[in-house]
Amino acid sequence: MKKSVLIVAILSVFAFSSCKDNAADKVNEENVATAEARDAESGKFPAITFEESLFDFGTIDQGTAVEHVFKFKNTGEAPLMIVNAKSSCGCTIPEYTKEPIAPGDSGELLVKFNGSGQNQVSKTVTLTTNTKAGTETLTIKAFVTPKAGGAVAPIKTPTSK
């Protein structure tokens, strides 16, 4: 109990004595200017502009591996970083640069698709970036023709022969 009273008394003395100083008198004008410059810089973001955000491979045979390069440019005011690229399924693999891309510079993102699925397929690649939006999405699509012998048999109804 005595320790609790002593701790409360010490904290009270400290709290009241620390409020005597005027905080405004302690502000260093040089630090304020540095903080203002830093805050102005923090409003600058990279921006990623793709030549295309959708690519159609057209008709491909099932199991045929295809790939496409998405070209982009950093049209923002800060270096662009692609932190991650994730596809909507394991059949699509994105490859991207881990290096920062300076404002005005260009880059490429390779997307590989293994030709799985049947008929019309569409896959997305989501990029995690340091842009203001934070994510960007690309899409690939293809019409995948089934391999011979792997075609689905037509459904027979009682009236069909």
pLDDT at 121 exceeding the cut of 60:
yes
Q: Is 111 helix (H, G, I), strand (E, B) or coil?
A: strand
pLDDT digits (tens, 9 = 90+) for 44-54: 899 999 999 99
Say what the pLDDT of residue 41 is: 60
- Cα torsion for 8, 10, 16, 20, to the nearest 10°? -160
Mean pLDDT for 127-155 is 83
Mean pLDDT for 5-27 is 51
Residue 2 vs residue 43, higher pLDDT:
43
Q: Are strands 106-113 and 66-74 parallel, antiparallel or unpaired?
A: antiparallel
Q: Cα–Cα distance between 140 and 95 in angstroms, integer?
A: 14
Q: Are strands 54-61 and 135-145 parallel, antiparallel or unpaired?
A: parallel
Least confident of 43-47, 118-122, 140-144: 43-47
**In 10 A of CB 160, how many CB atoms?**
7
- Cα torsion for 18, 21, 25, 28, to the nearest 10°? -20
Residue 141: which residues within 8 A CB-CB, separation 6 or more?
Answer: 54, 55, 56, 57, 120, 121, 122, 123
Confidence band for 7, pLDDT divided at 50, 70 and 90: low
Mean pLDDT for 75-90 is 95
Least confident of 39-53, 64-78, 112-126: 39-53
Mean pLDDT for 52-63 is 97
pLDDT at 146 exceeding the cut of 60:
yes
The answer to whether the predicted template modeling score (pTM) of the entire model surpasses 0.85 is: no
